[in-house]
Amino acid sequence: MQTKETILAALRTLPGLVAEVRAEGFMLPLGARQRQRFAVDRTRAALDARVRAREPGAADELVVHLLAVGPETELAHLDASILGVLGPRAWAMVAWARYLASPTLATLEVLRGAVHAARGFPLGEVLLAIAELHDLAREDAAIVEAFERLVSVDVHADPDPNPLRDALALFARARVFLALPLALDVRGRGLLELQRAIDCIVAAKNLVDPAFRARLLGNARLLLATHATAHGEEAALHTLVAAIGSDPCGPIGERARAAIDVTLARLRGGACGSLVA
């Protein structure tokens, strides 16, 4: 069983992860070709038109679209007319984006209030726990409690289940778990949750935006392969090739190809070379 001191020492590594998330979001974006293929701009324009027409629920759908497909940074700068009609869950997502844009005690308190108001919203609970872990100026006990809450969130306890939100929550938590030192013994769970996120989206088929499907699958497989590569597993190459398929000419494909080059340098010869021939 981990001691409080072990947990605290390990959690000191998290500010770097939050800075990385602030810079590029939890997931790499889709490249221009895939965004065009999946008509992302057209979908966004249609959502904007529905919001302007004050269609019920349209503003919430816009928030989900921005968080899932991007650009997430726009969530922190939505017009007041949109904010005024958001439901509790959408507002929690916006509060998370505002915290990332300006991680202060004030924006953290707003996020806490928003997640509390959303009640029974696992994705919000995961995002709040990550934000609280970033606030390392708090008392030691509060930091440990935030980690324990992150570990204990039941992603599938949502009374209104949605594969997109479930997959986002699983991916977000997995990324944190995989960033933590081995001493906390959560990396194995992180890998399992990445696979669960992939399975969730694959099973959902046409129930989720195809752009989000490609983005999450590519990012999850890239992250899975990165950690498999660290352990010298040749299966990482197969996963990297699959990641490229999600976004061949975009950031995901570029990073996957770079990882393949590194992996092939370590695993020379045999079947490895045939994977990218």
Residue 277: predicted pLDDT: 40
Q: What is the pLDDT of residues 50-84, one digit of tens each?
A: 999 999 999 999 999 999 998 888 999 999 999 99
Task: Give 159 or 210, the one with higher predicted confidence.
Answer: 210
- Pseudo-torsion of CA 241, 245, 248, 253, nearest 10°? -50
Residue for token pair 């919000």:
124
Instruction: Give pLDDT tens digits for 128-183.
Output: 988 888 765 566 777 788 888 888 999 887 767 788 988 999 999 998 888 887 77
More confident residue, 162 or 244: 244
Distance (Å, whole) CA 216 – CA 197:
8
Percentage of the chain beyond pLDDT 70 is: 86
User: What integer is the mean pLDDT of 7-24?
Assistant: 69
Query: Model confidence at 210, in pLDDT bands (50, 70, 90)?
Result: very high
**Alpha-helix runs per DSSP H in the chain:** 4-11, 14-24, 32-37, 40-52, 58-68, 80-83, 88-101, 105-118, 122-134, 140-152, 163-179, 187-204, 210-230, 235-246, 251-266
Encoded amino acid at 29, one letter: P
- The structure tokens listed for 200 are 């969730």
pLDDT of residue 182: 76
**Mean model confidence pLDDT for the chain:** 86
Q: How far apart are CA 199 and CA 187, in angstroms?
A: 18
- What predicted TM-score, i.e. pTM, was given to this entire model? 0.87
pLDDT attached to residue 275: 47
Q: Please report the pLDDT score of residue 274 as a whole number.
A: 43
The structural domains of the chain, with segments of one domain joined by +, span 4-209
CB contact at 8 A, 54 and 81:
no
Nearest to 132 by CA among 11, 216, 23, 272: 11
pLDDT bracket for residue 49 (50, 70, 90): very high
Q: What is the pLDDT of residue 11?
A: 74
